[in-house]
Amino acid sequence: MPSRWWIAALLFASTTINYLDRQTLNVLAPSLKTEFHWTNSDFALIVMAFRAAYGLGQLLSGRLLDRVGTRTGLAAAVTAYSGIAILTSLATGLYSFAAFRFLLGLGESANWPGAAKAVAEWFPKHQRGWAVAIYDSGSAIGGAVAPALVLGLAFWFGSWRPAFIVIGALGLVWVFCWLRVYPRTPPPAPDGPVLPALKWGKLARSRAAWGIILGRTFSDPVWFFVSDWFAIFLVARGFQLENTIAGFWAPFLAADLGNFAGGGFSSWLIGSCGWPVERSRKFVVILGGLGMTSLAAAVWTTSFFWLVALFAVGTFSYAALSTMILTLPTDLFEPRAVATVSGMSGAGAGIGTILTTFIIGAVADRYSFEPVLIAASLVPLLAVASVLWLISSDQTGKT
């Protein structure tokens, strides 16, 4: 039986590859916009195709993973989206890119529900904050590494197409390692469930489930604004992307640190200070939501250093908050329901992101990114309110 930390390492690698695949297009977006004559609204269409499939896919894949198991479900999903990433090299314009991104979103949607399920199967509650921080930090690492790797591949081959092939192939290597390491039968749950297993209909009536769903619906769109639009935002502000690589990765590195800060601080409050699990999670959520308001200050700065620094504070805070919301399904539901609840929350995040992506494209074309930044600093406070109001010890499990 492998160590649980080896499982966490593989989940981290999966998330990193997942983000490398999706960030390949985002990093190349400024040059692709020029080559194919896309507007911001055109690019938003491609992003929305991914988000629509990603949101729907999380709802379905979460339920499927709870039925077929973590080992088989994640292996199949990574194989599928790696193949789609490779095939994206054949895209010839707006609609073919949108079609490939839709398929990529369907495949990638299983990663977070599957990772949450694996954490619930392998880790006791006082370690779950750390475990979630490990696998979720892969999104920040993937985002941080992607600019240099993708642009380097495009420069080396003299074309953007090989970048999709090379990065897509990494997922197939991961599948081989995953099937070799992950046992066919997971170990018994390390501690008992807080809630009884609920069917899909009952989960949809659970206040705790809705606290998690709305928490992600009001916070994840901010992260996707940064990961999808940051390169275009910098160019819109007058910076040359190739001259800003040194700072481009900073918000993603900050998010990586935020994952571990949020997960580690919460685990410390539980293990060393004796705080109840729910109280420790909520305290980090409050701090994260307040920290995300720093994005509004980016409206009034023209300095590249301070611009990047403010985005870094925002993504650090988001990652701390997100780690707690991603951990909550493992706290509140037993393993066989965790992927379903995680998938439901991912679907909520997908709906929120689709709506905001459409708005971002339209506002950026007609006005600027400034109104987007102000909204991105305030909406996460609704996520905080949702978690505080809907999740409490005397409400948990009521339907």
Could you report the per-residue pLDDT of 319-375, keeping only the tens digit for each? 999 999 988 988 887 766 777 888 888 888 888 888 888 888 888 888 888 888 899
pLDDT band of 195, cuts 50, 70, 90: very low
User: Which residues, at least 6 apart from 117, have a Cβ–Cβ distance to it below 8 Å?
Assistant: 65, 66, 70, 335, 338, 339, 342
Mean pLDDT of 82-90: 94
Give residue 341's pLDDT: 82
Mean pLDDT of 151-167: 90
Give residue 125's pLDDT: 75
Counting every residue written for the chain, the total comes to 399
Give residue 348's pLDDT: 86
- 275, two tokens: 């705080």
* H-state helical runs in the chain: 4-36, 40-68, 70-87, 94-108, 111-122, 125-157, 161-181, 200-203, 207-217, 220-236, 245-248, 250-271, 277-291, 304-332, 335-366, 370-378, 380-390
Q: What percent of the chain has pLDDT over 90?
A: 34
Give residue 193's pLDDT: 46
Give residue 258's pLDDT: 92
Could you give the CA distance from residue 315 to residue 292 in angstroms, rounded to a whole number? 7
What are the C-alpha distances in Å from 186 to residues 4, 14, 69, 118, 202? 10, 18, 9, 9, 26
Chain centre distance of CA 48: 15
Could you give the CA distance from residue 39 to residue 33 in angstroms, rounded to a whole number? 7
Q: Which of 318, 332, 314, 333 is nearest to 284 (CA)?
A: 318
Over the range 136-149, which residues count as b (16 or more CB within 10 Å of their CB) and which as e?
A: bbbbbbbbbbbbeb
- List domains and CATH numbers for the chain: 4-390 (1.20.1250.20)
Q: Are 341 and 391 in contact (CB under 8 A)?
A: no
What are the C-alpha distances in Å from 253 to residues 189, 246, 308, 313? 32, 12, 11, 11
What does the pLDDT look like over 33-75, one tens digit per residue? 888 988 878 888 888 898 889 888 887 887 788 788 889 999 9
pLDDT at 396 over 60: no
pLDDT at 2 over 80: no
- 211, two tokens: 């606290």
Neighbours of 201 (CB within 10 A): 8
Per-residue DSSP letters for 273-300?
T---HHHHHHHHHHHHHHHGGGGGGGGG
Over the range 155-193, which residues count as b (16 or more CB within 10 Å of their CB) and which as e?
A: eeeeebeebbbbbbebbeebbeebeeebeeebeeebeeb
Give residue 261's pLDDT: 92
pLDDT at 240 over 80: no
pLDDT at 143 over 80: no
Q: Which of 128, 170, 129 is nearest to 146 (CA)?
A: 170
Q: Which of 325, 186, 320 is nearest to 261 (CA)?
A: 320
Mean pLDDT of 85-113: 92
pLDDT at 96 over 90: yes
pLDDT band of 395, cuts 50, 70, 90: very low
* Model confidence, pTM: 0.72
Give residue 194's pLDDT: 43
Q: Which residue has the tokens 């054949």?
A: 90
Give residue 398's pLDDT: 36
DSSP at 242: G
Name the amino acid, one letter, at 170.
L
